[in-house]
């Protein structure tokens, strides 16, 4: 394969949102970039509930109806006792994507910026000189290749092995892994196509939440995640089957998928000699919501830009600035979200019920996410200060 017989300035492993955005930002610096993806297609399979805020989209790609399944203007939280509280948002505050097309378009943008992409390439090792990463080893259609590069960006998602081969401990504590199962279901009744639904409590999803994210009329991504602690006793699949049976017995199932979200803080080390980690691989997921599309693109853009600059200026020591930049732009907020996660996901069912009741008393036009957390954490003043930092309430 021609593409694999050359050497590159930057090799990106993984063509998810983090990888393709990294590739684009690196290529825009005028350096040679190759993206390697093990799956057959960029964008498929989709292991994601596909919700993202508009703010996070427009920073990296212009919104386009061909990959927008739903435009969101409302959140609804359902308490364990079935009571619910909704919160109106600005029109088109967020989207439920068609990631199959969205990820593909991000790949196209990377190509247009000059990056090369090849699917079906399984990266199975690094070329190392001492501790220095000098490229990747990969299998393509039964043949083994060694492809040299000045920088490797590991955007290989939740499974993230590439970093390990460079000596970075990327494996995640099983208690922080949200193991998920999701279906895209049709024939769902009483679903507003502009509302994201979050179900809380031990019946629906202990230490996590059960989501119903619409993708049009009567159709939605329906799924949940459970942490490894819960997983010891019961799997995500078994919870999902129960929830579906209870809420949507008449649903028809159009897709089924398993997946993992590393709901943890960004790794202590996300760079090494000749290597940067981005997206899920660097644990750049929002630890509270599990949202990783926007933050993955953010991490990828920083990694790509820094890698491009480092090559262009011939100074690979610039790679060391990566973590600081990430922390400044987004990582510091994740520290706060991580504390909130501990506060919220350890709540008992009665507490959720009580919070819901209190929120119902606040006039609808005054309900905000900030208020929600204020109510939820009324007895935890330290956390409240943190909430204020994120939501400016």
Partner 1 sequence: MNAKEYRMAKTGKLMIEILPDKCDFCGCCVGVCPEDAIELKEAEIFIIDENCTNCSKCIWACPIEVIRFNKEGVLKTR
The binding site for ligand FAD (CB under 6 A) comprises: 13-19, 36-39, 47-52, 122-123, 155-159, 180, 182, 223, 259-261, 279-281, 285, 290-294, 296
Separation between Cα atoms, residue 41 and residue 28, nearest integer Å = 24
Cβ-based nearer residue to partner 1, 229 or 342:
229
> Is 259 one of the binding residues for partner 1 (CB under 8 A)?
yes
| Residues whose CB is less than 8 angstroms from the CB of residue 228 and which lie 6 or more positions away in sequence, other chains included | 173, 174, 175, 176, 177, 179
| Residues whose CB is less than 8 angstroms from the CB of residue 385 and which lie 6 or more positions away in sequence, other chains included | none
Least Å distance, CB 164 to partner 1, is 5
Least Å distance, CB 158 to ligand FAD, is 6
Radius of gyration of the chain (CA): 21
Partner interacting with residue 232 (select from partner 1, ligand FAD, none; CB below 5-8 Å by kind): partner 1
CA dihedral for 102, 103, 105, 106, sign (positive or negative): positive
85 with 77: CB under 8 angstroms? yes
Least Å distance, CB 113 to ligand FAD, is 17
Bond from prior residue into 45 cis (ω within 30 degrees of 0): yes
Cβ-based nearer residue to ligand FAD, 18 or 247:
18
CA 313 centroid distance within chain? 31
Residue ranges in 248-331 assigned as alpha helix (H): 293-313, 322-326
Cβ-based nearer residue to ligand FAD, 176 or 280:
280
Partner interacting with residue 290 (select from ligand FAD, partner 1, none; CB below 5-8 Å by kind): ligand FAD
Query: Of the candidates 22, 34, 35, 38, which one interacts with partner 1 according to CB under 8 A?
Result: 38
Using CB under 8 A, count the residues that bind partner 1: 35
Spell out, one character per residue from 213 to 252, where the chain touches partner 1: x when CB under 8 A holds, - when not.
Answer: -------------x-xx-xx--xxxx--------------
Cβ-based nearer residue to ligand FAD, 51 or 113:
51
Could you tell me what percentage of the chain is helix, strand and coil, using 3-state DSSP and rounding each to the nearest 5? 40, 30, 35
Residue among 85, 91, 94, 53 at smallest CA distance from 366: 85
Query: Of the candidates 101, 257, 318, 327, which one interacts with partner 1 according to CB under 8 A?
Result: 257
Separation between Cα atoms, residue 1 and residue 36, nearest integer Å = 13
Cβ-based nearer residue to ligand FAD, 201 or 262:
262
Partner interacting with residue 18 (select from partner 1, ligand FAD, none; CB below 5-8 Å by kind): ligand FAD
Query: In the window 154-173, what residues touch partner 1 (CB under 8 A)?
Result: 157-161, 164, 171-173
Cβ-based nearer residue to ligand FAD, 158 or 340:
158
Cβ-based nearer residue to partner 1, 38 or 150:
38
Least Å distance, CB 135 to partner 1, is 20
Cβ-based nearer residue to partner 1, 203 or 218:
203
Query: In the window 91-120, what residues touch partner 1 (CB under 8 A)?
Result: 120
What dihedral do alpha carbons 133, 277, 330, 383 form, nearest 10°? -120
Residue among 326, 289, 284 at smallest CA distance from 158: 284
Q: Is residue 248 classed as helix, strand or coil in its secondary structure? A: coil
Separation between Cα atoms, residue 74 and residue 279, nearest integer Å = 27
Residue among 117, 4, 51 at smallest CA distance from 289: 51
Contact residues: partner 1, CB under 8 A = 38-40, 47, 120, 122, 124, 157-161, 164, 171-174, 177, 179-181, 226, 228-229, 231-232, 235-238, 257-260, 262
């Amino acid at each position: 394969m021609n593409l694999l017989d050359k050497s590159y300035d930057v090799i990106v492993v993984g063509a998810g949102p983090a990888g393709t955005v990294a590739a684009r930002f690196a290529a825009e610096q005028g350096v040679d970039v190759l993206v390697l993806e093990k799956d057959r297609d960029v964008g498929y399979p989709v292991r994601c509930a596909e919700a993202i805020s508009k703010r996070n989209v427009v920073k990296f790609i212009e919104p386009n109806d061909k990959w927008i399944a739903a435009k969101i203007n409302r959140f609804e939280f359902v308490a364990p006792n079935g009571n619910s509280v909704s919160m109106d948002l600005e029109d088109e505050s967020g989207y439920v994507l068609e990631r199959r097309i969205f990820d593909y378009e991000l790949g196209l943008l990377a190509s247009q910026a000059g990056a090369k992409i090849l699917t079906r390439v399984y990266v199975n090792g690094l070329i190392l000189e001492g501790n220095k990463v000098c490229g990747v080893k990969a299998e393509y259609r039964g043949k083994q290749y060694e492809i040299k590069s000045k920088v490797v960006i590991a955007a290989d998602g939740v499974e993230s092995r590439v970093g390990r081969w460079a000596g970075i401990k990327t494996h995640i504590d099983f208690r922080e892994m949200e193991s998920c199962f999701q279906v895209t279901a049709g024939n769902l009744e009483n679903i507003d196509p502009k509302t994201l639904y979050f179900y809380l409590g031990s019946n629906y999803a202990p230490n996590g939440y059960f989501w119903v994210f619409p993708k049009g009329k009567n159709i939605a991504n329906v799924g949940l995640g459970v942490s490894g602690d819960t997983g010891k006793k019961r799997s995500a699949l078994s919870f999902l089957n129960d929830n579906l049976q209870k809420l949507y017995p008449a649903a028809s199932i159009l897709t089924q998928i398993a997946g993992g979200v590393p709901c943890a803080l960004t790794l202590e080390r996300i760079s090494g000699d000749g290597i940067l980690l981005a997206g899920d691989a660097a644990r750049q997921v929002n630890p509270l919501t599990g949202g990783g599309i926007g933050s993955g693109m953010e991490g990828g853009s920083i990694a790509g830009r820094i890698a491009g600059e480092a090559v262009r200026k011939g100074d690979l020591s610039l790679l060391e600035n990566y973590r600081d930049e990430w922390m400044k732009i987004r990582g510091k907020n994740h520290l706060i979200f991580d504390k909130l996660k501990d506060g919220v996901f350890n709540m008992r069912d009665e507490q959720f019920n009580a919070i819901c009741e209190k929120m119902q008393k606040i006039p609808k036009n005054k309900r905000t996410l900030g208020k929600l957390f204020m109510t939820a954490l009324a007895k935890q003043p330290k956390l409240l200060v943190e909430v204020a930092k994120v939501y400016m309430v």
